[in-house]
Structure 1
């Protein structure tokens, strides 16, 4: 800076001071330009609380972990301009890394002012993610509206039974569990599929093994299978007959899906709800790896399925799953109980063991599918 800004009447001291500070004026000039954009472009962390207060975004701070999300690009202000609309819900969920489709309740319902979210991906964790989702969505919705449910994959709706005997029954409730303060129902599902070929060691252990025929057909004199299980055509080759007999052996037996920790300790057992010899068929009642299967006499594969319930196990990771066959319930364990704790199931043989990594959560129903081949 060459020109002096001091008046002609300035003292020698003032002029000397100006000359000494002259090299700094250029830096001060750059700082002036920075001050104009400091709030909008990469504000320092110390600015954030004051900017949040200035923009009136304090109610979002408990739910949005990164305050830069609200400040940079004036995202918080843009959210305020569309607050009370689906666009605000979409923007708020985006701050948390999620996306969901909104579904409003029918206007004739008692809860006509409620909405539910259909997530495109399973939320990473119950805590703190669900509290954050609930908080951001409630602030984004109109004041009259409520968040009733959040679902992913597992979505069982209430049966419409108004003005009938079934009104107010268990069928009158939608799936889900309440784990947050606002009482929102969360109904999530996750599917694990295991395709397994029964080994000779497993078959011998459970008493269901026929040696693979080489040339001749099956010798019934050497078998211990009931004649009623011979539902295949006599024209079928020996390999098909073998698979059909071994598949039919599973029908009607009690199987349990056993979940274990990394150290091999049992987390629990869930009784299988479907154990059927099945064949591929278009529009079948079961699905595995995108293919439909239908229970059928003479089938050569077995479809097995178990599904945990909400709250069966939580805050623990299953590192392996397997099927337990031939086990007995412990003394005093009710016959209708579907989830058994360690020690409530004794004996039996484990087959189809496979390593997994399933973080079990109260809000997630684990659907475990097995396709057994022979």
Structure 2
């Protein structure tokens, strides 16, 4: 993987796959997603394997021949075992690189390490950092890295999780972690992931419209401003327009009665609540889309398929309807990923 890609953390849901598919070729070439499988609990073994295989193949079809990672951070041991088996059996069909990390079940770690050795695709090592960096976390990574075959290329995915106003030291802790982790091996890619998008199910949306600072982007700017030589090719990653806290849940930005239109500017996320149904739902959604199109930071209908949909919805153009949860999430994801890529270009 050449250069420093943009690494969005994407759930393996239809709206996210559609959003990735609808990126322009130039933008898509700069995006290397970390796909997260949804949890599948309470399934019989055959049903579990079949479901996991469907998830992997659905993402693989979207990825085609482009690289990407696949992980199941919310899975239990049964699902992780099924994923390991699917990755091994369908290795030739998928461009996806399996991910493991410290604290994962031993059998799953061994299976992923073996898959990386046999396929030559490499491995992703995802290291969570939701608080302060400590020696115990460092030792877990050292133990895992020591088991990686020298011929296997590995990627470091340092995952800060939710980064908002309550974590002003997130960039500093990330630097501490990177100072320890980067020298451990010649990583193919080193990426830092953080999610600044708010939880829309809380009181934030009570007034209908909200503007939330992009705390994760601020942390990235602080991190990227470091003078450390080993961070010159550091890759940026985020959770897009979905709160990290909600990544494992079904699509939908809010309660069953309403959803959210989302837009990303340089400094903020702008959110507008829209009703799902009712006699005024269509008019309210068009008004919300028009509100986003009127923002000083709106980049114009030609910026991406996301902005095009917002314009068409606002103007009732070409029969564009008001959409639904999936439409709103897909639209927000397209405009965000496109803007992130353009913001990262020199």
TM-score (norm 2): 0.19
Report 1 or 2 for greater relative contact order, CA contacts < 8 Å, sequence distance ≥ 6.
2
Higher share in helix: 2
- Greater radius of gyration (CA): 1
